[in-house]
Amino acid sequence: MTSSARRFKRTIGIDYSGAETAEASLKGLRVYQTIDGSEAEEVLPPPGPKKYWTRRGLAEWLIEELDSSIPTIVGIDHAFSFPMRYFERHRLEPDWQVFLEDFCAHWPTDELHTYVDFVRNGSVGNGAARTGERRWRRLTEEATGSAKSVFHFDVQGSVAKSTHSGIPWLKRIREARPQLHFWPFDGWTPPEGSSVITEAYPRLWSFSYPRRDRTQDQHDAYSVAQWLQEADKSGELRSAFQSPEPEPIAATGLVEGWILGAPWPPKEQLRRGTSKKVRNTASKGSNSLTTRPGFTNRNNQTVIRKTDLAGNDHNQVIYVIECQICGKRYGANGSDIFQRRCPECDNGQPGLSIKQT
């Protein structure tokens, strides 16, 4: 693919930081960009008293820069949304705009002099009314095999503070530049000529580039910007924009968000704590990992066997599922297995009948 076939004339990589306040000069908040065919270079904040970017200053810069005059793709290193369990717990409509409005009302981390921890401890906002469990991960985080939960605070490599401090600025950018395409919430395939904002995970690409004299934060931002440029040129970016399959995974991704370039099904399926039974069955080959006997989803529901019974979803058959917590067995469509919760002990939907007629 020639350079003339590139969709984006500029790529921007952002290594985010949830430290301190929105006005604080943050050494860990770094921005790199490529323009046309140039190598990624660091973008420094405008001249002034702040040596490093602030979250507020970065959002204002993006609003100014993303004016549709230069097709641009931006990769930001924090989550844009939360797992489906969060929507279920708080009875929220599975819609990203609804999520943004509700989250910002409870977590006003873009306000002056506000630390994420101020909301966590109840000094500001009402974060206690909008919490999640550290074991909850989005499907796209499971796909990477290493990305941490958005609720996993106070550990090395945590994205929780960055996410809780960054989401309100996404809302502000969206309001100021409604023509921007926030991927995948505005659709898996961005319109030609549009500028796009995506969630990035530098670990997917940072090992592909020599670090040289860059700090880790600088290198992460560099890697995002450089990969976006190269993937756009090679055509890999178009593939990365494609929705994951099957359709229920893509539907969940439109609510939870998706890390650009994260595979589905995951390349690395085996995780710590996986039983030998799962390890053995995971390598035997199947059209879908989630329907293999022995597969256990994130809610501890395990596939026992396939039946010949017709499901109640399009072209689906029923699988026998067993809860690893209470032992309940029930039927489920193959397309539902990845998100099933136990109907007996975890408020899941009633199971389908597995009795032969």
- The answer to whether 291 and 303 have CB atoms below 8 angstroms apart is yes
- Would you say residue 225 has pLDDT above 60? yes
What are the tokens at 153?
């605070």
For 161-178, write each residue's pLDDT tens digit: 999 999 999 999 999 999
1 or 16, greater pLDDT: 16
Secondary structure (DSSP) of 260-292? TT--SS-S----TT--HHHHHHHTS--S-GGGS
Secondary structure (DSSP) of 41-83? EE-PPPSSS-SS--HHHHHHHHHHH-SSSS-EEEEESS-SS--
What are the tokens at 252?
């969940």
Residue 140 contacts by C-beta under 8 Å, 6 or more apart in sequence? 147, 199, 253, 256, 257, 258, 259, 262
Q: Give 327's Cβ-side CA count (13 Å radius).
A: 0
For 192-210, write each residue's pLDDT tens digit: 999 999 999 999 999 999 9
For the chain, the distance separating the N- and C-terminal CA atoms, rounded to the nearest angstrom, is 57
Mean of pLDDT values over 247-251: 91
Number of H helices, E strands in the chain: 10, 9
The pTM for the full model equals: 0.77
Residue whose structure tokens are 């991704």 = 253
The per-residue pLDDT for 288 is 58
The per-residue pLDDT for 275 is 37
Mean of pLDDT values over 217-241: 97
Residue whose structure tokens are 């090992």 = 207
- Would you say residue 100 has pLDDT above 90? yes
The per-residue pLDDT for 131 is 96
For 118-163, write each residue's pLDDT tens digit: 999 999 999 999 999 999 999 999 898 888 999 999 877 679 999 9
- Would you say residue 273 has pLDDT above 50? no
pLDDT band at 274 (very low <50, low <70, confident <90, very high): very low
- The answer to whether 22 and 109 have CB atoms below 8 angstroms apart is yes
The per-residue pLDDT for 276 is 35
- The answer to whether 200 and 75 have CB atoms below 8 angstroms apart is yes
Q: Rounded distance, CA 200 to CA 221, Å?
A: 10
pLDDT band at 5 (very low <50, low <70, confident <90, very high): confident
- Would you say residue 239 has pLDDT above 70? yes
Q: Phi then psi for 323, rounded to 5 degrees?
A: -75, 125
